[in-house]
Chain A
Amino acid sequence: MEQTAMTATQPAPTPTTVKARRRPKITSYGTVIGMIVVVLAVGAIKPSFLGLPNLQAVLVEATVLAVLAVGLSIVMSMKGIDLSIAVTADVAGYIAAKTLLEGNGLGAALFAALAVGLVVGLVNGVLAGFLGVPAIVATLGVNLLLSAVGLVISDNGTPQQLFTAPAAVVGDFLAIGTGSVGPVRILIIVAIVVVAIAWFATRRTVWGRGIDLVESSSRAAFLAGVPVRVTFAAGFVACSVLAALAGVMLTARTGVVVPGTAAPLLLDAFTAVYLGSIASPKGRIRVLWTVVGALFVALLANGLTLLGLGAPWRFALNGLLILAALALGALRTRTARR
């Protein structure tokens, strides 16, 4: 502000200059502090909640959601949206299981699942990025289509049960979901690798910078020669591939797959992205903050279960938390504007 004040002859300060003023540190981390308080409060009532075994279990629970939400955050950071992630995860998980049970081996199963993600992502990306169909409509259409595909290939929702199949066929696959390397579960390693790659891709590559530029101003990005459409479409591809991977992880963990399993994860993923963005100091959608959001959602679900509060409370508290976070965010911008 000092500089503008010194040199401005134009009387009206632009809104951007005011909004971008540095905020006091403590308020910018208010949401995180709130999250920690909630977690500690649950821990105070139910000490086992913060015990190591439970935390480890929550971490494993959170991996699928984190991978899904991280993909979604890439699309949403460009003001896009992807409603098809949960059903992509379902179909990919189902196809992986089917491929596996037909005796094609781990590699083929993984390949088939990720191919599903790639195709869905390409369709979404072409529709939203190149044909100009609003992302919400394009991905809604794809979501409906895929849920039909899921019903048809599963013969109206017949589960594929992996855990009853011979270990020689499914053992490697299930090891992804249940095995450990040393003390660390493979799922956690996978999630960490995914998050690391996503972080690197969005923060350290030309494409990631393109995302920032498109997010800030797509017109200016176009005029600066950023391939806006490709960048946008690639976000959908990344999102769908990660969704497919999340489907594989989910299937490997539970050992059974039936279309519709991942459906509740869609709203959880939105919640994780929003909570993460509201918690981040600048209010932006970022990969690492999305992980924070996902961890919190998983912790909360687990904590409520430990407290003996069932599904109604889980939903209601999720809703209240979103609204509370909104209120907090609104208060923050309002104080920052003053």
Chain B
Amino acid sequence: MAKPSSVTHTPSPATGTVVAAVREAVVTFGETTVLHGVDLELVAGTVHALVGQNGAGKSTLVKALMGVNPLAGGHIEIDGERVSISGASDARRQGLEIVYQDQPLAAHLTVAENMFLGREPRAGGVFLDSGQMNRTALEVLSRVGAVCSPTDLVGDLTPSQRVQVSIAGALAANPRVLVLDEPTAALGAAEAAPVFDIVRTATSQGVAVLYISHRLREITSLATTVTILRDGRLVRSSPAAELSTDDMISAMVGRDLDALYPVVPHTAGEVVLTATGLKSGELLTGMDLEIRAGEIVGLAGLVGSGASEALLALFGAEKSTGQVSVDGKPVSVGNPRSAIASGMALVPEERRTEGIFPGLSLLSNITAASLRRHSRFSVLNSKEEKRTADGLIDKLHIVASSSEQDIATLSGGNQQKAIVGRWLARGGRVYLVDEPTAGVDVGAKIEIYRQLGELAAGGAAVLVVSSDFEELIGISDRLLVVRDGAVTGQYLRGEVDVEQLTSDAAAVGATENEVRLATEAPVAESAKPRAVLSSRPWVRQIGLPLAMVLVIVILALGSPGFAAPLSLLDVVRQASTPALLAAALAIALGAGAFDLSVGGVALLTSTVSAALIAAGVPTPGAVVAGIAIGAGVGAVNGLITVAFRVPSFVATLGMLFLLVGATLQINGGLPIAVAQGSDFLMLGQGYAGYLPIVAIVAILVIAVATVVWRRTATGLRLRAVGDDAKTSELRGVKPGINRLLALILSASISGLAGVLLTSYGSGATARDASLDLLTTALAAAFLGSAMTRSFLFDPATAAIGALFVTAVGAGLISNGLSDQWLPGVQGIVLLLAVLLAVVRRRALGQVAIF
């Protein structure tokens, strides 16, 4: 791993030297060559812009530089020396940092934790040096002008702040080369301005920046050098000052595409769709539209312009406001079902995740939106379904062996046709088509264009969004230019070319600077009020603990005997083993592993320790055996989960059975008593002064676990894996090994809890208590997670949850309630705590069950 990064030892290379270079890079995928000998030089203190259309090879080139794509030819130089880079972490070691488009961050971790995940500064080799983390983070954040505190949760940040944090995280590693892959793609114009400032700051400190963007206006204002790729070849590389945006566009385009757009005659009729003042999120600021029957209208906007968002808002897939009507009848916005009922149809951009139903047949995919039509009294009519599907497969020329074929096995173009078919089966009037040809080959493109034409010829209104402006010009009867969330211009067919449309959509002009001025001013000032703001989470958090204290106080008022010190100490004693189990489970859950076996482990070690003591083994032996058995079980759980790549839920379910079986084998279905007077019983029943020994042990173990969890690099990684496994993996933090570790920790603590249970109860019961122990621990762990700021699982709060549940139970009993209600109290407390989380619109720490 990289050594702790520090910003102070900047080996700032002299501006003007070539830091890194790609020489004649050739990249092949199978038999296809996608990069044909491209050169690229990155110079310290400058911005090198890389532009090209989708599929021109920009990402491929960057991934080759970062050691992700192996080179089939050519090589990479760092400081003029040939190097071979093997993988992302190697690239990092060489001083290359990359910020991917929509760089993923772990939402429930803080800004500083995200910035240093995978290369945490450590104190004493183990502990997180949070002082240095926060200092460095603050320093880098202020250097890049980010308006957020290192201790803010990433989930609370705006999209623009997230980009700032991503870039700051890369800069904190003090890189020599910084690659930014479309950093502004998800941002509006106003939000993008701070990003440009970061880039300027970075270059002024000698960093070589490689900047990829579709927004040509950004490039003209930022870049020193521009390299233009087309079809995997370098078509031009020259100083930015020598290139106009027009030059860039014509270098990027330049393909013969005459035959691509089949002519399907259609004529516009009545207005079908009208929208006024359509607003949604931050990008769509008030759009007016009117689309006629038999008309194809293209929305031409850059990423982040609000064009795609307009489609989702019209369809009701995003929260939105404004008036929308179809055929003069108003449609209630914000609900796809009413949009569909009015005749709207969405062909989404993300075909694989939003369009198709993978694993289901072509037939099911086609009839998904028209099930009512293919059923009577809710019973599906398979014959009719088949007729519809076969008819559409025929009509749309979908290439498939039969309507039963799994749609995931079809090509992208055929999948796209099936989605169009889904809406044809429904009889849609308005087609909202987002990036219709993303990721499909040329042959399928022609088919799709013809279909769009036929939809219009059939009297439908078609609204298309595409980032490929050539395509948009080729198919649209009318083009609307979208910028900053509104329509800013209109062209009819033949009135505009790609160059004009691109510059319109990018609108190089005064607006950007005005916006910049407007956003820059408050930046410096708002840094202060923010400090006050960041203390607010405590205020938000205090509610639940206050409520919990209040409940205990009320119970104590009702029954003074309950509040007596001895009685309270007894509650603590009673809560010790549940607290340990809750803490154990919280560690597993917090690392994204479900451990069903905690109760089973405790059951087994309880029985084993009782048997060992009965056989004359000294107390330390029994304790060590309990912990060792736990660790062993945890290791098996983890290895099965990792090796078979199965959900830990199932693996630990199997383990739970095994453990119960083993327990029954040992105790033969009978309780095992520990003789009174054995010093082993001191552990669970003795007192050190006034304090119960069992509570001291539990507190010590939970305290250590909590320090590991919150304050060490290992703990941070465990939490990160639980919060967002994908992000962690990108930072070189492996989910598998960390989950294995979490399962071992959790089972070891459970093992200890089982031993204490035996000592506390003077022996092991014969009853199979594994499920009871598990459910109590689960309830406490979830209750504990509701107590934390980010709703992540935490051993300490889980233990407090267990203590609370035990105390409430004891308090209710001393108030005269029957102990039969104890599980009910647990259940109600759990549901209330979780509903609180839901009300606060917090995503709970997601537990991967499957």
Q: Please report A residues at the B interface, Cβ cutoff 8 Å.
A: 1, 3-4, 6-12, 14, 16-17, 19-21, 79, 81, 83, 127, 131-134, 136-138, 140-149, 151-152, 156, 204-210, 212-213, 216-217, 219-227, 263-264, 266-267, 270-271, 274, 282, 284, 310-323, 326-327, 329-330
Q: Which of chain B's residues has its CB closest to A214's CB?
A: B357
Contact of A151 among B664, B820, B838 (CB under 8 A): B820
* B823: A residues at CB distance < 8 A: 144-145, 147-148, 151
* B380: A residues at CB distance < 8 A: 204-206, 208-209
* B663: A residues at CB distance < 8 A: 312
Contact indicator B654/A219 (Cβ below 8 Å): no
* B775: A residues at CB distance < 8 A: 83, 140, 143-144
Answer whether A8 and B646 are a contact pair too, CB < 8 Å, given A205-B378, A223-B317, A316-B657: no
* B847: A residues at CB distance < 8 A: 134, 136
* B640: A residues at CB distance < 8 A: 323, 326
Contact indicator B661/A312 (Cβ below 8 Å): yes
Contact indicator B661/A313 (Cβ below 8 Å): yes
Contact indicator B849/A148 (Cβ below 8 Å): no
Complex CA gap A146/B820 in Å reads: 11
Query: Is B364 close to A, CB under 8 A?
Result: yes
B780 to chain A, nearest CB (A): 11
Query: Is B91 close to A, CB under 8 A?
Result: no
Q: Which of chain A's residues has its CB closest to B346's CB?
A: A223
Contact indicator A11/B29 (Cβ below 8 Å): yes
Interface 1/0 per residue, B823-844 and A, CB below 8 Å: 1111110110011001000001
Query: Is B655 close to A, CB under 8 A?
Result: yes
* B289: A residues at CB distance < 8 A: none
Contact indicator B824/A319 (Cβ below 8 Å): no
Answer whether A141 and B831 are a contact pair too, CB < 8 Å, given A7-B441, A220-B353, A326-B654: yes
Residue pairs across A and B with Cβ atoms less than 8 A apart, 25 shown, are A3-B411, A6-B411, A8-B412, A11-B32, A134-B846, A136-B849, A140-B779, A140-B830, A144-B824, A147-B827, A148-B824, A208-B380, A213-B364, A217-B353, A217-B358, A224-B369, A225-B369, A227-B337, A264-B768, A267-B656, A311-B661, A312-B661, A313-B665, A319-B658, A319-B659
Query: Is B442 close to A, CB under 8 A?
Result: yes
* A149: B residues at CB distance < 8 A: 824
Residues of A contacting B: mostly: helix
* B353: A residues at CB distance < 8 A: 217, 219-220
* A205: B residues at CB distance < 8 A: 375, 378-380
Answer whether A140 and B357 are a contact pair too, CB < 8 Å, given A20-B406, A315-B657: no
Complex CA gap A205/B653 in Å reads: 33
Contact of B359 among A14, A216, A222, A321 (CB under 8 A): A216
Contact indicator A311/B658 (Cβ below 8 Å): no
Q: Please report B residues at the A interface, Cβ cutoff 8 Å.
A: 29-30, 32, 34, 315, 317, 336-337, 340-341, 346, 348, 352-360, 364, 367-369, 371-372, 375, 378-380, 382, 399-400, 406, 408-414, 422, 439, 441-444, 640, 643-646, 650-651, 653-665, 669, 768, 771, 775, 778-779, 782, 818, 820-828, 830-831, 834-835, 838, 844, 846-847, 849-850
Contact indicator A145/B364 (Cβ below 8 Å): no
* A263: B residues at CB distance < 8 A: 771
Contact indicator B824/A133 (Cβ below 8 Å): no
Contact indicator B779/A144 (Cβ below 8 Å): yes
Contact of B368 among A19, A131, A221, A319 (CB under 8 A): A221
Answer whether A3 and B410 are a contact pair too, CB < 8 Å, given A144-B779, A217-B358: yes
Contact indicator B664/A310 (Cβ below 8 Å): yes
* A146: B residues at CB distance < 8 A: 827
Contact indicator A316/B662 (Cβ below 8 Å): yes
Answer whether A217 and B835 are a contact pair too, CB < 8 Å, given A224-B368, A316-B658: no
Complex CA gap A79/B649 in Å reads: 13
B69 to chain A, nearest CB (A): 11
B379 to chain A, nearest CB (A): 6
Contact of B665 among A213, A264, A316 (CB under 8 A): A316
Contact of A312 among B378, B413, B662 (CB under 8 A): B662
Answer whether A223 and B650 are a contact pair too, CB < 8 Å, given A209-B371, A216-B360, A316-B657: no
Complex CA gap A213/B830 in Å reads: 31
B86 to chain A, nearest CB (A): 20
Answer whether A132 and B838 are a contact pair too, CB < 8 Å, given A213-B364, A225-B369, A323-B651: yes
Complex CA gap A221/B353 in Å reads: 10
Q: Which of chain A's residues has its CB closest to B669's CB?
A: A311
Answer whether A7 and B844 are a contact pair too, CB < 8 Å, given A223-B336, A227-B337, A267-B653: no
* A10: B residues at CB distance < 8 A: 412, 439, 441
Contact indicator B441/A20 (Cβ below 8 Å): no
Contact indicator B408/A315 (Cβ below 8 Å): no
* A6: B residues at CB distance < 8 A: 411
B747 to chain A, nearest CB (A): 15
Could you say which of B359, B400, B657 has the most chain A C-beta atoms within 10 Å of its C-beta?
B657
Contact of B821 among A9, A152, A266, A270 (CB under 8 A): A152
Answer whether A213 and B378 are a contact pair too, CB < 8 Å, given A20-B358, A152-B821, A316-B658: no
* B414: A residues at CB distance < 8 A: 3
Complex CA gap A115/B351 in Å reads: 43
Q: Which of chain B's residues has its CB closest to A200's CB?
A: B379
Q: Which of chain B's residues has its CB closest to A315's CB?
A: B661
Answer whether A322 and B653 are a contact pair too, CB < 8 Å, given A127-B831, A137-B830, A149-B824: yes
Complex CA gap A208/B372 in Å reads: 13
Complex CA gap A56/B656 in Å reads: 30
B52 to chain A, nearest CB (A): 16
* A319: B residues at CB distance < 8 A: 654-661
Complex CA gap A266/B665 in Å reads: 22
Complex CA gap A210/B368 in Å reads: 8
Complex CA gap A134/B846 in Å reads: 8
Contact indicator A326/B411 (Cβ below 8 Å): no
Complex CA gap A88/B631 in Å reads: 35
Contact of B422 among A4, A133, A141, A224 (CB under 8 A): A224
Complex CA gap A208/B346 in Å reads: 23
A6 to chain B, nearest CB (A): 8
Answer whether A217 and B411 are a contact pair too, CB < 8 Å, given A148-B820, A204-B380, A319-B656: no
Q: Which of chain B's residues has its CB closest to A210's CB?
A: B371
* A21: B residues at CB distance < 8 A: 409
Answer whether A133 and B834 are a contact pair too, CB < 8 Å, given A3-B399, A7-B443, A141-B779: yes
Contact indicator B831/A138 (Cβ below 8 Å): yes
Complex CA gap A138/B672 in Å reads: 36
* A83: B residues at CB distance < 8 A: 775
B602 to chain A, nearest CB (A): 16
Contact indicator A223/B354 (Cβ below 8 Å): yes
* A137: B residues at CB distance < 8 A: 782, 830-831, 834, 844
Answer whether A140 and B778 are a contact pair too, CB < 8 Å, given A131-B838, A148-B823, A217-B356: yes
Contact indicator A131/B439 (Cβ below 8 Å): no
Contact of A141 among B356, B358, B656, B828 (CB under 8 A): B828
A18 to chain B, nearest CB (A): 9
* B844: A residues at CB distance < 8 A: 134, 137
Contact indicator B664/A315 (Cβ below 8 Å): yes
Contact indicator A221/B357 (Cβ below 8 Å): yes
* B849: A residues at CB distance < 8 A: 79, 81, 136
Contact indicator A144/B827 (Cβ below 8 Å): yes
* B645: A residues at CB distance < 8 A: 330
Contact of B828 among A145, A217, A264 (CB under 8 A): A145
B398 to chain A, nearest CB (A): 10
A217 to chain B, nearest CB (A): 5
* A143: B residues at CB distance < 8 A: 775, 827
* B410: A residues at CB distance < 8 A: 3-4
B557 to chain A, nearest CB (A): 24
Q: Which of chain B's residues has its CB closest to A86's CB?
A: B771
* B779: A residues at CB distance < 8 A: 140-141, 144
* B378: A residues at CB distance < 8 A: 205-207
* B653: A residues at CB distance < 8 A: 267, 270-271, 274, 322
Contact indicator A318/B30 (Cβ below 8 Å): no
